[in-house]
């Protein structure tokens, strides 16, 4: 089983295009795990897929991207579906980090961090992880240090994705320092 490929397919279905899999996604991002399985079965490459493979990805992928409960599964962050995934606002750690391409810095200084194609801005609890994220777009990414506690105290909403990923609606440039 190609678990990396499976994880990518699960991310695509649960974050970006549940309708392509005829999945009903609720306002918190949950879908029925059996519906996801049956829908994957329609593709030849996933015809042998079992629930335990999906659970394996949930429990063993390099980042905690998904969550399962009794009958349901959801992505914890990363969504771009048109329907807003509802998250409970929560006080963030004092400092968070964001890794990005150097070529975006002038726009970020001007406009702050915006969600772009996703529903929320994604922030990391540690600088190593942020730099890894930035490396997707630049071999020598920029590290942004976010004064998240001040932003929160001044009314910017934050939400927890998982233990390492935090989400925010928007980060004004006054809370961003370039590391």
Residue owning tokens 């630049």? 138
Residue owning tokens 């190609």? 2
String of contacts with ligand HQG for each residue 1-40, x by CB under 6 A: ----------x-----------------------------
Least distance to ligand HQG from the beta carbon of 83, Å?
Answer: 17
- Which residues 54-73 are close enough to bind ligand HQG by CB under 6 A? 63, 65
* 131 contributes a contact to ligand HQG by CB under 6 A: no
* 96 contributes a contact to ligand HQG by CB under 6 A: no
Region at 116 (left for phi over 0; alpha for psi -120 to 50; beta for the rest): left
Region near ligand HQG per CB under 6 A, out of 21-29, 86-94, 113-121, 151-159:
113-121
Least distance to ligand HQG from the beta carbon of 79, Å?
Answer: 10
Residue 37 or 143: which CB sits closer to ligand HQG? 143
Question: d(Cα 119, Cα 18) in Å, to the nearest integer?
Answer: 15
**What single string gives the DSSP state of each residue in 98-158?**
EEE-GGGHHHHHHH-B--TTSSSEEEESSHHHHHHHHTTT-SS-EEEEE-HHHHHHTT--E
Question: d(Cα 81, Cα 18) in Å, to the nearest integer?
Answer: 8
Least distance to ligand HQG from the beta carbon of 119, Å?
Answer: 10
- Residues near ligand HQG (CB under 6 A): 11, 63, 65, 78, 100-101, 104, 107-108, 111, 113-114, 116-118, 122, 133, 137, 165
């Amino acid at each position: 089983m190609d678990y990396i490929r499976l994880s990518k397919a699960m991310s695509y279905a649960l974050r970006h295009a549940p309708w392509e899999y005829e999945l009903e996604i609720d306002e918190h991002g949950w879908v029925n795990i059996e519906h996801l399985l049956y829908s994957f079965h329609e593709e030849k490459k996933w015809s042998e897929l079992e629930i335990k493979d999906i659970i394996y990805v949930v429990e063993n992928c390099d980042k905690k991207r998904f969550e399962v409960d009794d009958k349901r599964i959801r992505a914890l962050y990363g969504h771009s579906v048109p329907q807003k995934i509802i998250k409970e606002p929560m006080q963030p750690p004092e400092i968070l980090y964001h890794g990005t391409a150097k070529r975006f810095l002038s726009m970020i200084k001007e406009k702050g961090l915006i969600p772009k194609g996703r529903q929320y801005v994604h922030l990391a609890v540690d600088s190593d992880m942020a730099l890894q994220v930035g490396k997707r777009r630049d071999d020598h990414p920029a590290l942004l240090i976010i004064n998240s506690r001040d932003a929160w105290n001044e009314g910017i909403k934050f939400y927890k994705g998982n233990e390492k990923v935090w989400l925010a609606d928007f980060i004004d440039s006054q809370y961003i320092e370039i590391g």
